[in-house]
Structures are given as structure tokens and as C-alpha cells.
Amino acid sequence: MSHESSLSQVQAATNFSEPAPLHATTRAEIDASLRFPVLLFFRTALFWLLFGSILCTMTSLKLVVPCFLDGINFLSYGRLLPVALDALLYGWAIPAGLGISLWMVARLCGRPLRCSKLLVAATFFWNTGVFLGSLGVLCGYGTSIPWLEYPNWASVPLFIAFLLMGVWIVLLFSARQPRSIYITQWYFLLGLCAFPWLYATANMFLTWGSIQASAQGPIIAWYSANIFGLFLIPLALGIIYYLIPKITGAPIYSYYLAVLGFFSLLLLAGWSGMTLFLGGPIPVWMVSASVVATMLMMIPVAAVILNYAKMLQGQVAALKESPALRFIAFGIIAYLVATLLNLAFAIPTWNGILHFTHYSNGIIILTLLGAVSMVFFAGIYYIAPRLFGFSWLCSCSIRCHFWLAVVGLSLMVVSMTLGGLLEGLALDDAAITWVNVLSFAAPWRWLNVIAWILLLLSYVSFVRLFGNMLFHATHPDQKVSACSFNSLASVS
Amino acid sequence: MNRLRPLFITIALLFFAGWLGFVAYSYLELGRLAPQVESDGSLPPLQSGSAIRGAKVYAAEGCMTCHSQQVRQPSVTSSDIDRNWGKRPSVARDYLRDQVAFLGTSRIGPDLSNVGVRFTDPAWYYRHLYESTTVVPGSNMPAYRYLFKMQKIEGQPSEEAVSLTGPHAPKEGYEVVPTEEAKDLVAYLLSRKQDYTLPEVPPVPEK
């Protein structure tokens, strides 16, 4: 599809049109070269997803029933929670996102992967890093720096592994066959450049400890905001730009909006993290800059969402038929809600009440498991059948996965934001003692436990389905599931 | 020309701008803050070796997941000061002596930046850490019993023994004493005091 006539100057510099469909043999060649490494990414990611959500369920339960598994050092709340969240970030989201972007980049660049052994080695390194890091925290070597709790030596394998994987994608880029660069690749390029920079900076200054504690606050806030805003969210947005046109056949609605969305995100996201320490011991100008940037973030978000919404308009049939599209639609909604919640959080007087309650954790969970993960699931739903060479085995597992995730996440958001608001109002009144604040928060925390259980069930049903696919791929003659074959995702 | 290059350069430049603003500025300005020199020493006060080791225990146990260490500006909220968590908001220099600033992002429990002012008796901390409900009924803070050891009383009971009654009391002839880790942790908690004045932050007038 070419829109040469309507290209703006920006696009003239970077030709923007969607790449022409590849020849079937090229496609098959690419998929064959990627089958093992990408499926390996997905397998390890799903393991950590289950691991992380089991631990999250346990910690949420510990908050309401403190005597649950109490007094055991490696199962104490303060050690489990960081392990759980880091497993979801480093174990699940990053490898899943990388696996998907690797496949998409290869397809967009029209190049099969060479020397995939190194990539497999990188996955191995990465997972070793996550494993050793988690073990370190459980054994009491955690650093208690948000999102960087792993002991500092665990950052070395993680960093090396990322560079190896990143190099692969860059090589694919430079060998690309169509010279044009599609918007998806823009976002991937942003994310893949941002991560090593973020991770190296944060580790150098924080975990390897070469900076005075008085200066750590802004760097902590910068890292924990940008790991989402400049890395995972761009990956997710790029994946959506790839999948919607592929699934529905609709072209990108507006290239101007796409360009606007990309550059305004790039410009603003990096400045928006300091609301994490609004009113805290960091320079006031930083907080002001972030408040403004968070408000302005409505521009990139509105631009991409408008674009997506226009592309999805009237695609009811496709939404019903394609699980990937349904996951994307929910991911987009989650992204919008998370942005609005962030906006409310950045208003100073509101922040005074909402800060430090479950509200802010709710935004993080919604971003990680809603906006990012739902899109990654969509990517896996789209890609895995192409790698396996057959379609998803069971449609009820998919439905289970989707609806449990939707209900679980919605319940989570309601319990965390409303519960957080009430908790904040109680905290704001100094006459209410701490133990009384706890009783205000308790019902909402119970709701949170239920939400986690639903999410856990949702992920279990997906992992089971994926496991069945793996089994079926190696034992094609055996019947694997009671569910009838269903051609949900056609293999193109 | 390779069209990848302009895109890459734009990304790098815009990313670098944020990096300069937040990271480089912090490193160059906040990272070079110096202690306030007074006639009778410097502020914030130096920490004992035990307190510095205790910060490691604080990090390892993840107390930060439930406790913050920052008193917010009264312009944002007055509740931190109303709750008696500090007489004035925290500023960057307060963390000068720490290895890691445990600013915290959530408050399942109270703020601890001035806990050493509120509670001065180590015995209270030991009982609270061993089983929080013995001193604060209804508390849901986890019990850190593994930071203590149960030992047989030989001769005189130990002076450090945690005084426990009721269901959490040790068996007859046994006592509960804090380990080195617990002692360091409590030394660290006792050092959590921002009760001095720094020129950049005047005390908030009492209401």
C-alpha cells in the first residue's frame, strides 16, 4: 500500500509506507529461522508470568491475612513482592516483547535470522540473570531500589543478554530488504535503544552505588517511569500498529497522527516520571516539569488511540473472530485508563491524597498487565500459530484467558483506585489512627486478592493452552485436548 | 543515505535531553551536596557502623515495600506533619549519610523518616519486630521472628531478652534474644531522625 502522494516532509525523510507483502517462500524461510528462538522466548516468559502472578497473589493475601506463611524469611512480604514484580517485568514482559519484536522486525525487514545460536545463548543468559536475581532477593541480598531489587551482580548477565539480543535486531534492521521503515519499526527502535541506556544508567548510579543517596530519588523515578514509558509501551504501540492492519486489512488511518504520536511520545515520556516523588525530597523544578509533561502526554496518547480507533472502526466481525484483535482492543482501553489515572495522580492536591496508597501501584499493574501484557498476548496469539504451523487448539481456553483477564484487571483497577482513594482520604485525616486506616483499606485489599486469583486463573489457562500447542508440535499424532479443533487463527 | 540514521539521531537526542535534565543534573548537583558544618559537628549527623549495617538488613527485608522515608512538603499535603511523622519536610540533604535513599513508594505502614524520634527504646522495637501485635493491637506488619533466636536460659537471663507475655512468650526456661541483624536494624531505625535544622528548609510553624 503506498500513500506517496500524501506524505509529509517527515515521511519524505523516512519513507513510511507499509511494506509490500512478502513472498510465501520468504515468509516460510523467516518463520523457520525464528521458530526455535522466538518460541523459547515465549516459553521462558510464560514461566515467569506464572511465577510472578503466583507470588503476587500470595503477597496480596499476606496483606490481609498477615499470619499466612508468616515468619519464614524467604517468604516474607518484603522479599516476595519485589521478586514477584521483577519476575513480571524482567521475566515475562521484556522477553515476550523482545520475542514478538524480533519476529515482526524479521518479517518487516524481509530477512531470515542468521546464527540463531547466539540468540539462544542470550535468552539463556537473560533467564539466568532473572533466576539468580530472584534467588538473591529471596535469600536476603535485595537492594530495595524500585525495579532494581536484584543484587547488582545479576545486572551483568541481564545487560549482556540484552545487548546480544539487541544486536540481532539491529543487524536485521540494517540488512532490511525494503528500504522503507514502517512505524512499528520506529517504535521498536525507540524501545530497543532506550532499554540499554536506561538499564545501564540506573544500575551504574544506583545498584553499583557510585552516587550519593541525596541524588538517588530522581534517578529512581526516572528509571521506573521510563522502563514503561520509553520501552515497554513503545514496543506495545509498535505491535498494535503491525497487527491491526494485518488482521483487519485496514491501512493506517492517518500518517500525520502516527508521526505526531511517535514524536510527542518521544519528547514527553522521558520527562514525566518525577510525579512519583511529588512533594518529596527532589528539586521542585523537576516535579513541575513532570507535572506538565504528564498533562501533555495526553497528546501522544490521544493521537495513537484515535488512530487505532479509526482503524478498528466497523471491524466488529474481525473483533469477534480474532483473539489477537480482542486482546489489542482491551490493551488500548487499559492504556487510556492508565493514562487518565496518571493524569489525576499528577495534580498536586490530588497527589497529596492518592500518593503512597494502592492507587499508584494500581497504575503500575494496569500498565504492566493491561496496556503492555494484553498487547503482548495478542502478539503471541498472532505469531505462535505461524511458528507452530497450526492454529490454536482450543477456543474456550482463549475465551477463558481473555475474559478472566478482563474481569480480573477491571476488578484490580477498581479495588486499587477506589480503595486507594478511600485509604488516602483516611490517611489525610490525622485523627484516624494507623490501625483504623488499615480497616478502611481491608475490604478493598480483599477485592484485590480476588482480582489476583482471577488473573492467575486466566494466565494458567493460557499457559495450559500454550503447553498443549508445544506438545502437539512434538507429538502431532496424539490428541491433546478435549476441545475440538477450531480455526480461530488462520495460518497465513 | 541510510534513512535509519535521522530517526536514530532524533531518538538519541530527545532521549539524551531527558537524561541530561534528570540524571546528569542529579549527579552533578544533588550528588555533590555537602554536609552542613556546624560548630559542634556536621549535619546530618554521622551514622554508627551498626546503623550502616542495619540499612543493609532494612534493604534485604524489603521494609521499603511498606514504609516510606520522606515527609512531604506542606504545600502538597499537611497530613505527613499532622501525623507527627516529622516537624519539617525532608530535603535531599537529609539522605546524605545513607548508602541508599529508601524513599519508598507506598505506605502500607507509617513513614519512618523520624521513627527514631518517636520511639527511643530498643526494647520496643524488638517486641514490635518479633510480633507487632504485642505492642500495636490490630497491626498487620509481618513478624520478623527469624531475626531473633530462641535460646535456653543458662544462669542469669540475658539482658537483651525480649520481654514477651501471652501467646508469644517463649517456653519456660527459654528466652528470645535479638540476633546481630536485629540489633543493627534497630540501630538503623533509631538513627532515623530528621530533627535538626538545615538552612534550605525552615521548620514548619506549629498550628
Residue A351: predicted pLDDT: 94
Residues of A in contact with B103 (CB under 8 A): 216-217, 220, 277, 280-281
A167 contact B CB<8A: no
Please state, in angstroms and as integers, the Cα–Cα distance from residue B177 to each residue in A166, B144, B147, B188, following that order.
52, 12, 9, 18
Cell representation of residue B89: 519536610
Please state, in angstroms and as integers, the Cα–Cα distance from residue A399 to each residue in A49, A253, A455, A464, A465, following that order.
19, 29, 13, 13, 11
A215 contact B CB<8A: yes
Q: What is the pLDDT of residues A29-73, one digit of tens each?
A: 888 888 999 999 999 999 999 999 999 999 999 999 988 888 888
Residues of B in contact with A203 (CB under 8 A): none
Nearest CA in chain A to B90: A281
**What 3-state class would DSSP assign to B135?**
coil
Other beta carbons less than 10 A from residue A336's beta carbon: 17
Mean pLDDT, residues A262-290 taken together: 93
Beta pairing, strands B36-38 & B41-43: antiparallel
A280 contact B CB<8A: yes
For residues A458 and A405, is the Cβ–Cβ distance under 8 A?
yes
Residues of B in contact with A353 (CB under 8 A): 77
For an interface test with B, give the residue of A228, A355, A356, A416 to mutate (most B CBs within 10 A). A356
CA atoms of A368 and A362, how far apart (whole Å): 10
Of A201, A219, A360, nearest to B105 by CB-CB distance is A360
| A128-156 as b/e: b if 16+ CB within 10 A | ebbbbbbebbbebbbbbbbbbbbbbebbe
Looking at CA atoms only, how far is residue B62 from chain A in angstroms?
Answer: 4
Task: Quickly state the pLDDT bin for A6 (edges 50, 70, 90).
Answer: very low
Cell representation of residue A415: 479495588
Task: Quickly state the pLDDT bin for A299 (edges 50, 70, 90).
Answer: very high
Other beta carbons less than 10 A from residue B136's beta carbon: 15
Please state, in angstroms and as integers, the Cα–Cα distance from residue B34 to each residue in A214, B91, B92, B203, following that order.
10, 13, 11, 20
Q: Which residue has the higher pLDDT, A355 or A475?
A: A355
For residues A409 and A456, is the Cβ–Cβ distance under 8 A?
no
Q: Which residue has the higher pLDDT, A483 or B173?
A: B173
CB contact under 8 A, B76 and A348: yes
φ/ψ region of A261 (left if φ > 0, alpha if ψ in -120 to 50, else beta) reads alpha
Residue B207: predicted pLDDT: 60
For residues A421 and A454, is the Cβ–Cβ distance under 8 A?
no
B46 contact A CB<8A: no
Cell representation of residue A303: 493521537
For an interface test with A, give the residue of B23, B98, B146 to mutate (most A CBs within 10 A). B23
Q: Is the pLDDT of residue A135 over 50?
A: yes
Amino acid in the structure at residue A74: F
Nearby residues of B49 by Cβ (< 8 Å), 6 or more positions away: none
Q: Sign of dihedral through CA atoms B52, B57, B59, B64?
A: negative
CB contact under 8 A, A218 and B22: yes
B207 contact A CB<8A: no
Other beta carbons less than 10 A from residue B147's beta carbon: 22
Residue A297: predicted pLDDT: 95
Residue A457: predicted pLDDT: 97
| A451-475 as b/e: b if 16+ CB within 10 A | bbbbbbbbbbbbbebbebbbebbee
B39 contact A CB<8A: no
Task: Quickly state the pLDDT bin for B41 (edges 50, 70, 90).
Answer: confident
| A315-325 as b/e: b if 16+ CB within 10 A | beebbebbbbb
B85 contact A CB<8A: no
CB contact under 8 A, B22 and A193: no
Residue A50: predicted pLDDT: 97
Q: Is the pLDDT of residue A180 over 60?
A: yes
Would you tell me which residues 291-330 of chain A have a C-beta closer than 8 angstroms to some C-beta of chain B? none
Provide the ipTM: 0.93
Residues of A in contact with B17 (CB under 8 A): 270
Q: What is the pLDDT of residues A317-356, one digit of tens each?
A: 888 889 999 999 999 999 999 999 999 999 999 999 999 9
Q: Is the pLDDT of residue A202 over 80?
A: yes
For an interface test with A, give the residue of B140, B149, B184, B188 to mutate (most A CBs within 10 A). B140
| B152-182 as b/e: b if 16+ CB within 10 A | eeeeeeeeebbebeeeeebeeeebbbbeebb
Of B3, B106, B108, nearest to A181 by CB-CB distance is B3
Q: Is the pLDDT of residue A1 over 80?
A: no
Mean pLDDT, residues A151-167 taken together: 91
Q: What is the DSSP letter of B196?
A: S
For residues B118 and B84, is the Cβ–Cβ distance under 8 A?
yes
Q: What is the pLDDT of residues B87-108, one digit of tens each?
A: 999 999 999 999 999 999 999 9
Q: Is the pLDDT of residue A464 over 70?
A: yes
Residue with cell 549527623: B45
Mean pLDDT, residues B47-71 taken together: 95
Mean pLDDT, residues A255-276 taken together: 93
Residue A267: predicted pLDDT: 93
B142 contact A CB<8A: yes
CA atoms of B129 and A319, how far apart (whole Å): 54
Q: What is the pLDDT of residues A351-402, one digit of tens each?
A: 999 999 999 999 999 999 999 999 999 999 999 999 998 889 888 999 999 9
pTM > 0.90: yes or no: yes
Mean pLDDT, residues A174-178 taken together: 74
Nearest CA in chain A to B65: A78
Q: What is the pLDDT of residues A187-201, one digit of tens each?
A: 999 999 999 999 999
B175 forms beta bridges with B151
Residue A229: predicted pLDDT: 95
Residue A400: predicted pLDDT: 93
Q: Is the pLDDT of residue A486 over 80?
A: no
* Range with the poorest average pLDDT among A109-113, A176-180, A184-188: A176-180
Task: Quickly state the pLDDT bin for A132 (edges 50, 70, 90).
Answer: very high
For residues A455 and A412, is the Cβ–Cβ distance under 8 A?
yes
CB contact under 8 A, B7 and A429: no
DSSP string covering A172-217, please?
HHHT-SS----HHHHHHHHHHHHHHHHHHHHIIIIIS--S-GGGHH
CA atoms of A81 and A62, how far apart (whole Å): 10
CB contact under 8 A, B143 and A145: no
Residue A480: predicted pLDDT: 53
Please state, in angstroms and as integers, the Cα–Cα distance from residue B152 to each residue in A131, A148, A191, B144, B156, following that order.
39, 41, 59, 20, 11
Q: What percent of chain A has pLDDT over 90?
A: 70
Task: Quickly state the pLDDT bin for A19 (edges 50, 70, 90).
Answer: low
Of B26, B72, B108, nearest to A280 by CB-CB distance is B72
Nearest CA in chain B to A207: B100
φ/ψ region of B163 (left if φ > 0, alpha if ψ in -120 to 50, else beta) reads beta
Q: What is the DSSP letter of B2?
A: -
Phi/psi of residue B185, nearest 5 degrees: -60, -45
Residues of A in contact with B136 (CB under 8 A): 434-435
CA atoms of A71 and B151, how far apart (whole Å): 17
Residue B200: predicted pLDDT: 87
Beta pairing, strands B174-178 & B148-152: antiparallel
Residue with cell 530497543: A192
- Burial (Cβ within 10 Å: 0-12, 13-18, ≥19) of residue B40: exposed
B117 contact A CB<8A: no
Q: Is the pLDDT of residue A170 over 60?
A: yes
Of A174, A266, A280, nearest to B90 by CB-CB distance is A280
For residues B124 and B117, is the Cβ–Cβ distance under 8 A?
no
Mean pLDDT, residues A10-19 taken together: 45
CA atoms of A187 and A105, how far apart (whole Å): 11
Q: What is the DSSP letter of A139?
A: T
Cell representation of residue A18: 507499509
Residue A479: predicted pLDDT: 61
Q: Which residue has the higher pLDDT, B2 or A304?
A: A304
CB contact under 8 A, B63 and A70: no
Mean pLDDT, residues B180-202 taken together: 92
Q: Which residue has the higher pLDDT, B103 or A476?
A: B103
Residue A439: predicted pLDDT: 86
Q: What is the DSSP letter of A6?
A: G
Residue B163: predicted pLDDT: 86
For an interface test with B, give the residue of A145, A198, A212 to mutate (most B CBs within 10 A). A212
Q: Is the pLDDT of residue B144 over 90?
A: yes
Task: Quickly state the pLDDT bin for A244 (edges 50, 70, 90).
Answer: very high
Q: For the CA atoms of A342, A343, A345, A349, what is the dihedral angle to 10 degrees? A: 180
Q: What percent of chain A has pLDDT over 70?
A: 92
Residue A9: predicted pLDDT: 36
Nearest Cα to A489, choosing from A402, A376, A388, A373? A388
Task: Quickly state the pLDDT bin for B119 (edges 50, 70, 90).
Answer: very high
Mean pLDDT, residues B144-171 taken together: 87
Would you tell me which residues 97-116 of chain B have a C-beta closer than 8 angstroms to some C-beta of chain A? 97-110
Q: What percent of chain B has pLDDT over 70?
A: 98
B157 contact A CB<8A: no
* Range with the poorest average pLDDT among A45-49, A144-148, B199-203: B199-203
Distance of CA A230 to the CA centre of its chain: 11
Nearest CA in chain B to A145: B102
Nearest CA in chain B to A64: B140
Residue A169: predicted pLDDT: 81
Looking at CA atoms only, how far is residue B79 from chain A in angstroms?
Answer: 5
Residue A461: predicted pLDDT: 95
